[in-house]
Structure 1
């Protein structure tokens, strides 16, 4: 990998989340200069868990931060499905050594803050001043020679390209394609991170557990070398009355929302200090992500429901493919079009898979004591699980052919 070349105009990135930082690090490691503009005054990620599947591990290896992230993570031995009220358990698939054997890379769970910090450190190791904080992006203009990013402060920045990695409420997307606002998706989530000493002993396992039930589901898995337990409980809801998309709730509210669920779920809820409730939002898909020297990345262009554990992985994949395209092609607009063509079908196929899981995880048949287990047997059979996941895990963003390479 190369150091950046400051003689060329930098690639401008709006947003210093996981996707934006992955793109910045991938570009820097390929010799391209970058500047990242982040509206927050401090770099902080929400304290929650993230699942890194083998496709994500490959990206982190390409970015040079895999060991740093794994050092503070938990290797996952497997995943399982449990029935919401009885606790009946089905093994979904083995991971650990089996994931390495089948896919070449491990599956692990990480504290989102630790993943974010590793990416920040990687970027700053190559360019200490790459990330500009307190820099809210307000607009942009492009011409045949470059892009001018306008900041809310009145300052401007000039670059060869602009990458909108500014999330589901993306300013870049709105300026490119209009104001199709994110809307409430009739689903909310309770989120918390629990000190492991408060978790019942029999639940302290390096396993990702997914409780499925009528109208909702619960996911929990360990974080930070087993020091923490990540808890997320999803429920279908109509209307969202909070002023913010996330707001602090109480354990009593959360327990009431999961009334009737197995005592293992209730025990986890009782161990929470102060859960947060989040409104899950959706945006319609885009036919195109790119216009000239400006393109989108991650949630800005393919936000998905958090039901396939791929949001962070897919955003990081975007970053590596984008960097590969810009590295090999001096025609920036052509490179961005190549990036979009390389990513569009895969990203939206994963978006569709996350949407399909709503009916799978929340199916009303799960309320029936006979049909519920039969439904799980059908939907989580080995062949169906492999068909849903193997193609995701096998992907390598660092080597996947780009369009003209595929035809060569």
Structure 2
């Protein structure tokens, strides 16, 4: 049992646990698996009545897949994932290759773990089944919390109450736990994204050569890659937006509006967009970095701590790093108990996630050609000096080579 995290026997709440995790998404479920490995019981509270994640694409880099493999889901993950051969930047107007980063076997050799593309809903199902439904309480929407010297009291919309020794907020960019801790609010980024899934048979060029394809262009960009063991092609297309509009992971977008936003782009892009029967559209929100994520008994994790724009494809990866780091810190807590574990977790994670969070914001200058293309200016000559992508792969060592578990254990 984690020292300093036990709920007192005199608690007056309806239920008690040593650790309460708020949010049953990828971050919360990964944390539950990592805590179990450390011998720490937890209860996960999810606001949705049924376990569900939107069926969109997700990139899992070696810094996350090595951790997921150690948590025991390697076989299940491999069954639903795709192993792309490369990440390739292409011209928005002519589809010519611009730059390549090798993935596939070269990435596995270089970093000891694969680079996967997956359907987000299928990854969520893998983690859900690994955790087991008995550990997750669905239909629990957190309304507020009170931290005291002997525990944290949680109040839910249903009227249920819970006393926990410590609470982990893994409840996303609109985190109730973060609102209690920091009192800030998400900020609209000025961009929205359309996401879609297309049967692979409609786009054989994307399925037969599994790659992550990125088309940076004037004021917007589009990414696509195969998921669902190669049965579907996932794409994400950004568009500038003056107002946030409706925020919902399941809100339908207008395919005609999306097609208009990419009119004049190369035929591969326009065919990709035209192949989608349904597209989802939602605004992108961001938050400023916090100076700290923890109190003595409350900590933030994943998007609740450091929401990231998706332009480095690291949001879920960093949440997985967070989860394993926090579990190791809690599992090895000694006399300092949970407060000391939380402090160590924050020291290990905050500098890295702040760097990546800022990098995701800054990458829009490159992806949206703000430095390379001005109105009325002709396209510059382009090409790639590294056609095999090995130099590009080596340049990702700071990101892909990071072993969050080993670093936490050494600390």
Settle same-fold status: TM greater than 0.5.
yes
In structure 2, how many angstroms separate the alpha carbons of the residues matched to 1:75 and 1:107?
A: 6
The offset of 1:197, in angstroms, is 1.1
The alpha-carbon distance between structure 1 residues 61 and 192, as it changes in their structure 2 partners (threshold 3 A), is: same
Q: Does 1:335 align with 2:344?
A: no
Matches within 5 A, 1:21-100: 21-100=29-108
CA distance in 2, matches of 1:392, 1:146: 36
Residues 80-229 of structure 1: pairs in structure 2 closer than 5 A: 80-124=88-132, 128-178=133-183, 180-201=184-205, 204-229=208-233
- 1:340, distance to aligned residue in structure 2 (A): 0.8
Secondary structure of the residue aligned to 1:40 is: coil
RMSD over equivalenced CA pairs, Å: 2.3
* Aligned match of 1:231: 235
TM-score (norm. length: structure 2): 0.90
Query: Partner of 2:251: helix, strand, or coil?
Result: strand
Q: Distance in 2 between matches of 1:341 and 1:246?
A: 36
Q: 2:367 aligns with which of 354, 361, 365?
A: 361
Cα contact 2:18–2:164 (8 A) shared by 1: yes
Instruction: Give the 3 Å change call, closer, same or farther, for CA 57–384 of structure 1 in structure 2.
Output: closer
Distance of 1:203 and 1:29 partners within structure 2: 37
Q: 1:312 to 1:358 in 2, by over 3 A?
A: same
Is 1:391 the counterpart of 2:398? The answer is: yes
Matches within 5 A, 1:210-289: 210-242=214-246, 244=248, 247-289=251-293
- For residues 401 and 107 of structure 1, what CA distance do their matches in structure 2 show? 22
Q: In the superposition, relative to structure 1, how do residues 146 and 130 fare at CA in structure 2: closer, same or farther (>3 Å)?
A: same
Q: Does 1:16 pair with 2:21? A: no
Residue 282 (structure 1) shift: 1.1
Q: Encode CA deviations 1:57-100: one digit per residue, 9 max, x unaligned.
A: 11101211122111111111111000111111134211111011
- 1:371 aligns with 380
Match of 2:352 among 346, 351, 358: 346
CA distance in 1 between partners of 2:347 and 2:199 (Å): 43
**Given the superposition, is the C-alpha separation of residues 160 and 372 from structure 1 closer, same or farther in structure 2, using an over 3 Å criterion?**
farther
- Distance in 1, Cα, partners of 2:137 & 2:93: 49
CA distance 1:203–1:66, shift in 2 (3 Å): closer
Separation (CA, whole Å) in 1 of partners of 2:405 and 2:38: 12
Q: For 1:221 and 1:245, locate their aligned partners in 2 and report how far apart those are by CA, in whole Å.
A: 20
Please give the alpha-carbon distance, in whole angstroms, between the structure 2 residues aligned to 1:223 and 1:371: 33
- Provide the C-alpha distance between the structure 1 equivalents of 2:359 and 2:369, rounded to a whole number of angstroms: 15
Within 2, Cα distance between the matches of 1:282 and 1:377?
Answer: 35
Aligned residues of 1:246 and 1:279 also touching (Cα < 8 A): no
Q: Shift of the alpha carbon at 1:390?
A: 1.5
SS in 2 for 1:129: helix
Q: Deviations over 1:309-345 (max 9, x none)?
A: 1111110111100000110114111111111111101
Partners of 1:231 and 1:7 in 2: CA distance: 45
Structure 2, gaps ≥5 residues long:
8-16
Matches of 2:321 and 2:179 in 1, distance apart?
Answer: 23
Counterparts of 1:59 and 1:245 in 2: how far apart (Å)? 27
Q: CA deviation at 1:113?
A: 1.1
Residue in 1 aligned with 2:14? Answer: none
Task: Report Cα offsets for 1:178-237 as digits up to 9, x if no partner.
Answer: 1x2212110111110111111144664210000010101100000111100001111222
Cα distance, 1:40–1:141 mapped onto 2, change above 3 Å: same
Gaps of at least 5 residues in structure 1 are none
CA distance in 1, matches of 2:253, 2:280: 5
Aligned residues, how many? 393
- Tell me how far apart the structure 2 counterparts of residues 192 and 141 of structure 1 sit (CA, whole Å): 40
